[in-house]
């Protein structure tokens, strides 16, 4: 399996990071893709990339909830890193109108700028979109580059939104919310072809049932795979094989 989105550099793992990662490898995880948040998370992320070459793969980007006054300096730091190191994607980037709408225009500007960086470096984008799906879609359509691809990370939308993301050429990152009783994805996933789905945990957040409310970790991705399999009435092995194939294709 490939874990397409996990913040394994988080301080939540300060006491048992190595053990947590060992559980992931033992569960059959081939790679863990690490999204960045801002300049403060780069050091820990890159350290893991060096300790686990080919297994812990970094992205670079400015998370929308970290967009504040002076965000341009953050973007400059991201651009400098792109010129000196290799990353698999620009992320996580996007729009978040759940917590605070104060910096909405700055979020939009930061997103579009990072889309340009993605195209300049021939990378895909990892999208964070909370309470802002159609606003994010509008920005993608404004950017108007058919070669801009990526993942709608932690997708929790309805069937119409899922189909729109796929129409734009994006994959759906499915995580622990799929296992929640009222998560809503039971009304979506049965109608989406498996080729449009990748698996993630968003660790340490959004732990799947029966761990909901506790610290999430990468090994729990098996529970997500099983839930997708149940909803699509197929084997877990089929889900793992297909989603891993899709993820690997994104690295080409």
Is 26 exposed, middle or buried (CB count within 10 Å of its CB: 0-12, 13-18, 19+)? exposed
Q: Are strands 170-174 and 150-152 parallel, antiparallel or unpaired?
A: parallel
For residue 48, give the CATH number of its domain: 3.20.20.140
Quick one: pLDDT at residue 99? 85
Distance from C-alpha of 22 to C-alpha of 34, rounded to nearest angstrom = 16
Give pLDDT tens digits for 185-236.
Answer: 999 999 999 999 999 999 999 999 999 999 999 999 999 999 999 999 999 9
Encode burial over 43-63: b for 16+ CB neighbours within 10 A, e otherwise.
ebbbebbeeeeeebbbbbbbb
Give pLDDT tens digits for 45-58.
Answer: 999 999 999 999 99
Give pLDDT tens digits for 2-27.
Answer: 999 999 999 999 999 999 999 999 99
Distance from C-alpha of 129 to C-alpha of 239, rounded to nearest angstrom = 25
Query: Do 167 and 141 meet the contact criterion of CB atoms below 8 Å apart?
Result: no
SS3 content of the chain, % helix, strand, coil (to 5): 50, 15, 40
| pLDDT band at residue 247 under the 50/70/90 scheme | very high
* Dihedral angle of Cα 18, 24, 27, 32, to the nearest 10 degrees: -140
Quick one: pLDDT at residue 252? 86
**Residue 184 backbone class (left: φ over 0; alpha: ψ -120 to 50; beta: rest):** left
Q: Residue 123: which of 87, 85, 74 has the closest Cα? A: 87
| pLDDT band at residue 242 under the 50/70/90 scheme | very high
Quick one: pLDDT at residue 117? 98
Q: At what angle do helices 104-120 and 133-143 cross, to 10 degrees?
A: 50
Give pLDDT tens digits for 84-111.
Answer: 999 999 999 999 999 889 999 999 999 9
Encode burial over 163-189: b for 16+ CB neighbours within 10 A, e otherwise.
ebbbebebbbbbbbbbbbeebebeebb
Chain mean position to CA 42: 16
Number of domains in the chain: 1
Domain residues for the domain of 223 are: 2-250
Give pLDDT tens digits for 49-83.
Answer: 999 999 999 999 999 999 999 999 999 999 999 99
Quick one: pLDDT at residue 159? 98
| pLDDT at 123 > cutoff 90 | yes
Give pLDDT tens digits for 163-188.
Answer: 999 999 999 999 999 999 999 999 99
**How does DSSP classify residue 207?**
P
Query: Do 91 and 152 meet the contact criterion of CB atoms below 8 Å apart?
Result: no
Other Cβ atoms less than 10 A from the Cβ of 248: the count is 12
Other Cβ atoms less than 10 A from the Cβ of 229: the count is 18
Give pLDDT tens digits for 127-137.
Answer: 999 999 999 99
């Amino acid at each position: 399996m490939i874990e397409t989105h996990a913040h394994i550099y988080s301080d939540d793992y300060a006491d048992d990071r190595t053990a947590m990662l060992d559980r992931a490898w033992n569960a059959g995880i081939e790679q863990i893709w690490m999204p960045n948040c801002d300049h403060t998370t780069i050091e820990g992320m890159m350290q893991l990339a060096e300790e686990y070459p080919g297994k812990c793969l970094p992205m670079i980007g400015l998370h929308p909830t970290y967009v504040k006054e002076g965000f341009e300096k953050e973007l400059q730091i991201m651009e400098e890193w792109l010129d000196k190191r290799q990353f698999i994607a620009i992320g996580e980037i996007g729009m978040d109108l759940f917590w605070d709408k104060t910096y909405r225009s700055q979020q939009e500007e930061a997103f579009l700028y990072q889309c340009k960086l993605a195209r300049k470096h021939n990378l895909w984008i990892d999208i964070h979109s909370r309470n802002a799906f159609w606003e994010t879609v509008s920005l993608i359509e404004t950017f108007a580059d058919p070669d801009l691809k990526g993942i709608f990370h932690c997708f929790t939308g309805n069937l119409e939104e899922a189909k729109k993301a796929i129409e734009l050429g994006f994959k759906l990152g499915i995580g622990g919310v799929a296992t929640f009783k009222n998560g809503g994805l039971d009304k979506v996933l049965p109608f989406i072809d498996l080729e449009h789905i990748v698996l993630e945990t968003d660790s340490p957040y959004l732990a799947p049932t029966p761990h909901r409310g506790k610290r999430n970790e990468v090994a729990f991705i098996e529970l997500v795979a099983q839930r997708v399999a149940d909803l699509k009435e197929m084997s877990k092995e089929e889900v793992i094989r297909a989603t891993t194939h899709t993820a690997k294709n994104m690295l080409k």
